[in-house]
């Protein structure tokens, strides 16, 4: 059985429910406050585990981050690679509007202390065809991509949050990109997003890669050089969209490792993401596979 190693961020999410996002020069009262486990890395590991995959999570936390380790363990994620550092844990300040939209500031903290030798030591424990999952919230992502590819691992990259530095990474070594609209447009090099244009540019730029592109209300796509599949969304009333993208990523990768076909992966990932937006918070909103199947059955849709 192929293994999944997720080298990713762990954040303490400080979540403020607000009527409207705070504007420059303004001070506002939060309607509610909570502190939860999050970080794109942690969320994706939990999503993969809840989708039924066995996942190793590697990353760094501070002394204040024991809760993050516990949260992964409780979800059944293997945490022996996690290291505690003297730095503060990564944390995110998240405003959530009543519409469910969010706005996030991340301080990388210990996530920024992922050194090259740590990455090499972790990757050494994995074999060709195992899968490395990466997001863009830790240091030395580029090194991890190159090293993993050298060792024959399959590299899944969710370049979130995206910035100019990503364009300097050796993206030709990425086997599968998981992108939202903003990330797809950025990598495709188009200023006005148009899905057909994004798809053809991405195919041209990275002909060996496969892509999963999530477009919010407009559904999601899988495409590679020769194939394209589409999945519509499951309509729900959103409470909080934080972590929905991570839920999608985790379910997609778990489906891949479990040998589901591509339409099945997209279908389950969309259903899981729809469920995640119905619950506040990031990690805590990620559903278990059994609950996703109940959700589907309640809609008279096929369980997987
Ligand atoms: O994708 C959601 C995540 O982004 C949050 O959990 C927060 O920690 C930020 O990393």
pLDDT band at residue 19 under the 50/70/90 scheme: very high
pLDDT at site 220 = 98
- To the query of whether residue 246 is one of the catalytic residues in this protein, the response is yes
pLDDT at site 132 = 98
Structure tokens belonging to residue 38: 């999050």
Tens of pLDDT, residues 26-79: 999 999 999 999 999 999 999 999 999 999 999 999 999 999 999 999 999 999
Among 242, 277, 280, which residue has the most ligand 1 atoms within 8 Å of its CB, making it the best to mutate? 242
Q: Which residues line ligand 1 (CB under 6 A)?
A: 11, 13, 38-40, 43, 92, 104, 106, 137, 242-243, 245-246, 282
- Report how far residue 37's alpha carbon sits from residue 69's, in angstroms, rounded to the nearest whole number: 9
Tens of pLDDT, residues 100-135: 889 999 999 999 999 999 999 999 999 999 999 999
Domain total of the chain: 1
Residues near 227 by beta carbon (within 8 Å), at least 6 away in sequence: 262
Residue 304 has pLDDT above 90, yes or no: no
Domain extent for 198? 4-303
With 0.85 as the threshold, say if the pTM is over it: yes
pLDDT at site 164 = 97
pLDDT at site 248 = 98
Please report, for the domain that includes residue 258, its CATH number: 3.40.1190.20
Neighbours of 210 (CB within 10 A): 18
Catalytic residue among 13, 173, 175, 246: 246
pLDDT band at residue 137 under the 50/70/90 scheme: very high
Q: Give the mean model confidence (pLDDT) for residues 250-276.
A: 98
**171 HSE (CA, 13 A, CB side):** 23
pLDDT at site 285 = 97
Q: Are the CB atoms for 43 and 282 separated by under 8 Å?
A: yes
Neighbours of 243 (CB within 10 A): 32
In a 10 Å sphere around its CB, with 0-12 CB exposed, 13-18 middle and 19+ buried, how is residue 137 labelled?
buried
What are 221's strand-pairing partners?
Answer: 213, 230
pLDDT band at residue 293 under the 50/70/90 scheme: very high
- Report how far residue 293's alpha carbon sits from residue 304's, in angstroms, rounded to the nearest whole number: 7
Query: Which residue's CA is the closest to the ligand 1 atom numbered 6?
Result: 38
Query: Which residue's CA is the closest to the ligand 1 atom numbered 9?
Result: 39
- Closest atom of ligand 1 to 246 CA is 1
Q: Give the mean model confidence (pLDDT) for residues 214-243.
A: 96
- Report how far residue 149's alpha carbon sits from residue 142's, in angstroms, rounded to the nearest whole number: 11
Residue 300 has pLDDT above 90, yes or no: no
pLDDT at site 14 = 97
pLDDT at site 100 = 85
pLDDT at site 301 = 87
């Amino acid at each position: 059985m192929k293994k999944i190693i997720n080298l990713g961020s762990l954040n303490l999410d400080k979540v403020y429910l607000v009527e409207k996002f705070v504007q420059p020069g303004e001070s506002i009262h939060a309607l509610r406050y909570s502190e939860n486990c999050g970080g794109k890395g942690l969320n994706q590991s939990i999503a993969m585990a809840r989708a039924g995959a066995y996942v190793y999570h590697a990353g760094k936390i501070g002394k204040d981050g024991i809760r993050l380790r516990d949260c992964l363990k409780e979800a059944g994620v293997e945490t022996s690679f996690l290291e505690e550092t003297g730095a503060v844990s990564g944390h995110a300040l998240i405003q959530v509007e009543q519409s469910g939209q969010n706005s996030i500031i991340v301080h990388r903290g210990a996530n920024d202390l992922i050194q090259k030798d740590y990455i090499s030591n972790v990757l050494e424990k994995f074999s060709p065809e195992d899968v490395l999952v990466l997001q863009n919230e830790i240091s030395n992502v580029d090194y991890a991509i190159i090293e993993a590819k050298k060792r024959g691992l399959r590299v899944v990259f969710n370049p979130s949050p995206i910035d100019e530095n990503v364009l300097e990474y050796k993206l030709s070594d990425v086997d599968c990109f998981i992108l939202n609209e903003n990330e797809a447009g950025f990598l495709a090099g188009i200023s006005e997003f148009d899905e057909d244009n994004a798809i053809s540019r991405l195919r041209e730029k990275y002909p060996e890669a496969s892509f999963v592109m999530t477009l919010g209300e407009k559904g999601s796509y899988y495409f590679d050089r020769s194939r394209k599949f589409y999945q519509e969304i499951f309509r729900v009333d959103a409470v909080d969209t934080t972590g929905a993208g991570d839920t999608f990523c985790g379910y997609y990768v778990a489906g891949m490792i479990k040998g589901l076909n591509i339409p099945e992966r997209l279908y389950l990932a969309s259903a899981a993401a729809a469920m995640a937006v119905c619950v506040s918070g990031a990690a805590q909103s990620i559903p278990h596979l059994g609950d996703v199947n109940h959700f589907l059955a309640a809609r008279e849709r096929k369980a997987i």
